[in-house]
Copies of this chain bind each other. A is one copy, B any other.
Amino acid sequence: MDAEQLREYAHKMVDFIADYYKNIENFPVLSQPGYLRELLPDSAPAKPESLQDVLDGKSVAGFLGEMLSAGINMVGFSWITSPAATELEMIVLDWLAKALKLPDEFLSTGQGGGVIQGTASEAVLVVLLAARDKVLRRVGKDALGKLVAYSSDQTHSALQKACKIGGIHPENCRVLKTDSSTEYALSPESLSEAISRDIASGLIPFFLCATVGTTSSTAVDPLSALGKISSSNGLWFHIDAAYAGSACICPEFCHYIDGVEEASSFNMNAHKWFLTNFDCSALWVKERNALIESLSTNPEFLKNKASQGNMVVDYKDWQIPLGRRFRSLKLWMVLRLYGLENLQAYIRNHIELAKKFEELVKLDPRFEVAAPRNFSLVCFRLLPTENNVECANRLNRELLDAVNSTGKLFISHTVLSNKYVLRFAVGAPLTEERHVFAAWKTLQEKASALLRKS
């Protein structure tokens, strides 16, 4: 969608909303449980639909009305206060789960289901709390100080924050070391050993967070092997696929989540690489009651027939806040207006652009690719002129500053095996091949200038 198509669609949307506002008094206030599933298809369309098609149909006034209600006096806690938002969220997350080929246990039609969290940080927090309380119900709440959570040194800092919030003792957070020998993936042997040691010391292993596409280098943890260890030790097994999950709608990349059937929960951020506005982090769980037991409250003012009768899902009990926005609407628009085939093409194009950048790096003998490129991120660095790690690190830091201060592009960095490494990410909808070439040209020029000086 270019600027002119955005303009056209957005003007149409403004009129739709203003007309709704004008006629707001003609709409009824209440709905019936399940009304929406009957009106919508079972899975996301492969081909794009037109905006008019999406806006047509009786149901849409309800959607936009509820979206608009955010501007008036948002009360999206439970089903009764926002039926369209609740039901559309269930439907759209079922669509997305099917597109990712997640096991059926993650669908809302069984004991599991999907929910939109704000971010992957909130996703890992709520499942960590569910896991914590599940084990504490069994062993007693005074055992909190004995619970142990496992991850690798490449796991996102969100897990560390979730542990702090949930009161898991910092010395019981096992951060298992990775290195280039496993391409920065968590080794099942090191997990097994750590669990055995902890059990021997009287501690209680309860949670594992594995990652598909780590933040630093997009490493992929071996899900099947890790999942088997988790289930034989009774751990909650969470998969953080915040960034790379989107790629798994393409059949050729789907193998990266082989082993997901072992997981207790799975998360991907639609706002990262799926053309959906921030914030929209999709979380699926196999056992929704574990979430609900940790996070539900039932004050008098929220009691209502639909909730008391267990006829509906109340997403307030699947998340930290009480109130919530109508976030499924944007995901629904993305799935319908683009269609899965275009979304797959979008992902493939970014990966091709990253490959192109990787080839450019490889052609310049002053640089090296510093970790395998799995998706659309390239980790690279300027090689040391002498064989001196510190000198190379300083050189790459200077290159980062020089490039970023041009104001033309922004690259970030990480540290892998003590090496300061630059990160080139393709992820913006407007990025084209010419931008990749221009970025590489800027990098080469700044590198030449720095090398001349040193």
Which A residues have a C-beta under 8 Å from some C-beta of B? 2-4, 6-7, 10-11, 14-15, 17-19, 21-22, 24, 28-30, 70-74, 76, 118-122, 125, 129, 133, 141-142, 144-145, 156-158, 160-161, 164-167, 169, 215-216, 271-272, 277-279, 294-295, 297-303, 305, 320-323, 325, 401, 404-405, 407-410, 412-415, 423, 427-430
State whether A165 touches B129 (Cβ < 8 A).
Answer: yes
When distances are taken between beta carbons in the complex, the residues of chain B under 8 Å from A160 are: 297
Would you call A301 and B412 a contact (CB within 8 A)?
yes
Using known A-B contacts A14-B11, A405-B30, determine if residue A121 contacts B215 with beta carbons closer than 8 Å: no
Partner of A278, one of B166, B325, B427: B325
**Hey, which chain B residues are within 8 Å of A74, CB to CB?**
271, 277-279
Nearest chain B CB to A117's CB is how many angstroms away? 9
Residues of B within 8 A of A21 (CB): 2-3, 6
Q: How far is the CA of A10 from the CA of B13 in the complex (A)?
A: 10
Kindly report how many copies of this chain are found in the complex they form together.
Answer: 2
> Could you tell me the distance between the alpha carbons of A429 and B70 in the complex, rounded to whole angstroms?
12
Asked whether B278 lies within 8 Å of A414 as measured between CB atoms, the reply is: no
11 intermolecular pairs with C-beta atoms under 8 Å apart: A14-B14, A70-B271, A70-B277, A72-B428, A72-B430, A74-B278, A118-B118, A118-B323, A120-B322, A156-B299, A157-B322
Which one of B4, B144, B320, B413 contacts A301 once the chains associate, using CB atoms below 8 Å? B413
Q: How far is the CA of A11 from the CA of B323 in the complex (A)?
A: 29
Output the nearest chain B residue to A126 by Cβ-Cβ distance: B165
Please determine whether A407 and B122 come into contact, CB atoms closer than 8 angstroms. no
Knowing A7-B18, A301-B414, A412-B301, say if A404 contacts B30 (CB, 8 Å).
Answer: yes
Pairwise interchain contact B22-A321, C-beta atoms closer than 8 A: no
Give the chain B neighbours of A165 by CB distance below 8 A.
Answer: 129, 165-166, 295, 320
Q: A70-B271, A215-B299 are in contact. List 7 more A-B contacts (CB 8 A).
A: A3-B18, A29-B408, A30-B404, A121-B320, A164-B295, A165-B320, A279-B325
Pair A121/B11 contact, Cβ less than 8 Å: no
Given contacts A18-B10, A21-B6, A321-B122, contact A300 B410 (CB under 8 A): no
Instruction: Check A119 against B321 for contact (C-beta < 8 Å).
Output: yes
List B contacts of A303 (CB < 8 A). Answer: 413
Among A10, A14, A28, A323, residue most surrounded by chain B Cβ atoms (within 10 Å):
A323
Residues of B with C-beta under 8 A to A430? 24, 72
In the complex, which residues of chain B have a beta carbon less than 8 angstroms from the beta carbon of A401?
Answer: 305
* Chain B residues near A167 (CB-CB < 8 A): 144, 166-167
Closest 8 CB pairs of A and B: A74-B278, A167-B167, A28-B407, A7-B18, A157-B297, A119-B321, A3-B21, A3-B22
Interface centre among A118, A169, A295, A303 (most CB of B within 10 A): A118
Bound state CA distance, A409 and B28, in angstroms? Answer: 9
Q: Which residues of B contact A294 (CB under 8 A)?
A: 164
Among B119, B323, B427, which residue has its beta carbon within 8 angstroms of that of A322? B119
Contacts of A73 in B (CB 8 A): 272, 427-428
Assess the B410–A161 pair: CB atoms within 8 A. no
Pairwise interchain contact B29-A6, C-beta atoms closer than 8 A = no
Q: Which residues on the B side are within 8 Å of A71 (C-beta)?
A: 277
Report chain B residues within 8 Å CB of A76: 278
In the bound assembly, the distance between CA atoms of A325 and B408 in angstroms comes to 23
